[in-house]
Homo-oligomer: A and B are copies of this chain.
Amino acid sequence: MNELLREFNEGKPRALARAISQCESGEGAPLIAALYARTGNAVTVGLTGPPGVGKSTLSAGLVRKARALAKRVGVVSVDPSSPFSHGALLGDRIRLSEHFTDPNVFIRSMASRGHIGGLAGATADAVLLMDAFGFDLVLIETVGAGQNEVEIAELAQTTIVALQPGSGDSVQALKAGIMEIADIFVVNKADHPMAQQLYREIRSMMQILEYSGWVPELLMTQAIEGVGVGELWNAIQRHAAYLNESGEIGRRRKEAFAHQVRQIAAGRIGGLLDRAIATDSGDGDPYAAAARALQTLGVAE
């Protein structure tokens, strides 16, 4: 591990890659312990939205913008892939390929394993590692549908929710509770005939919610042409300024910390719980069996 830490501290991307892999295989604790003091400097931005909305294109646009400003960028692309096959399709990453040879851009696909919490615990580790590695911006990109996007809001200081016109997204967004997590709304594919309508619907929904403090920004983009990406970048900066000036950043970091602690602890308990259940008699009803499992774990209720 010392060798790995040395290379990590020298800024070698392969050390970052190996460190993330180590976290993915559940061996990240000593690395995070060693590097945690160096975290807290990156701007962390979550980007979520339904499949096909253009998240990868938006990410690519933000990465390009960041590079034009000489910022170093890490991208974590979380793939809600099969909990059975553990495979991740890499198709979406292709749009980021122009940055594959840029040493100041590091892109990592991770599978959310369908375990407790949705987003892999290793995602939070990867964000910490990219932060400690010295990236100015860490983008976390995930398909949003139910659970993942709530996780992303816990993890990132700024959450962008991208929606697409003509897909019934707005109503679904409300249903899935993503109205509440968005710091910035993006209507992508602004050239779509229904774009204005979606924009107005989101605007109306926002009026129903009572925001205290930050009121989400609502932007239109056409990411594939780069239209609106500069404005999106500026909105991220405005939100970062708000977080810092209001002191909200401290609360968000504390929440992100607690969230990760919970994920780690729940993951460890989950393994013990599975073992307790597998060796249980299976007698009686599920509540009785659950009580026995808790007893096996040593948890006093």
A181 to B261, CA, bound (A): 31
Among the 9-residue stretches A99-107, A183-191, A282-290, the one with 4 or more Cβ atoms under 8 Å from chain B is A282-290
Given contacts A177-B84, A261-B290, A293-B265, contact A147 B272 (CB under 8 A): no
A265 to B268, CA, bound (A): 14
What residues on B are CB-neighbors of A265 within 8 Å?
273, 276-277, 290, 293-294, 297
User: Which among B89, B118, B269 is the interface contact of A146 at CB below 8 angstroms?
Assistant: B118
What residues on B are CB-neighbors of A278 within 8 Å?
258
Query: Interface size class for chain A?
Result: 35 or more
Does residue A112 face the partner (Cβ distance < 8 Å to B)?
A: yes
What residues on B are CB-neighbors of A293 within 8 Å?
261-262, 265
Identical copies in the complex: 2
The reply to whether A298 and B298 contact each other, CB–CB distance below 8 Å, is: yes
User: Which among B36, B114, B145, B282 is the interface contact of A177 at CB below 8 angstroms?
Assistant: B114
The reply to whether B261 and A176 contact each other, CB–CB distance below 8 Å, is: no
The reply to whether B299 and A175 contact each other, CB–CB distance below 8 Å, is: no
Please provide the 4 A-B residue pairs with the shortest distance between their CB atoms, ordered closest to farther: A82-B177, A145-B145, A36-B285, A264-B290
Instruction: Give the interface of A toward B (CB within 8 A).
Output: 28-29, 32-33, 36, 51-52, 79-85, 89, 112, 114, 116-118, 124, 128, 143, 145-148, 150, 168, 171-172, 174-177, 179-181, 254, 257-258, 260-262, 264-266, 268-270, 272-274, 276-278, 280, 282, 284-290, 293-294, 297-301
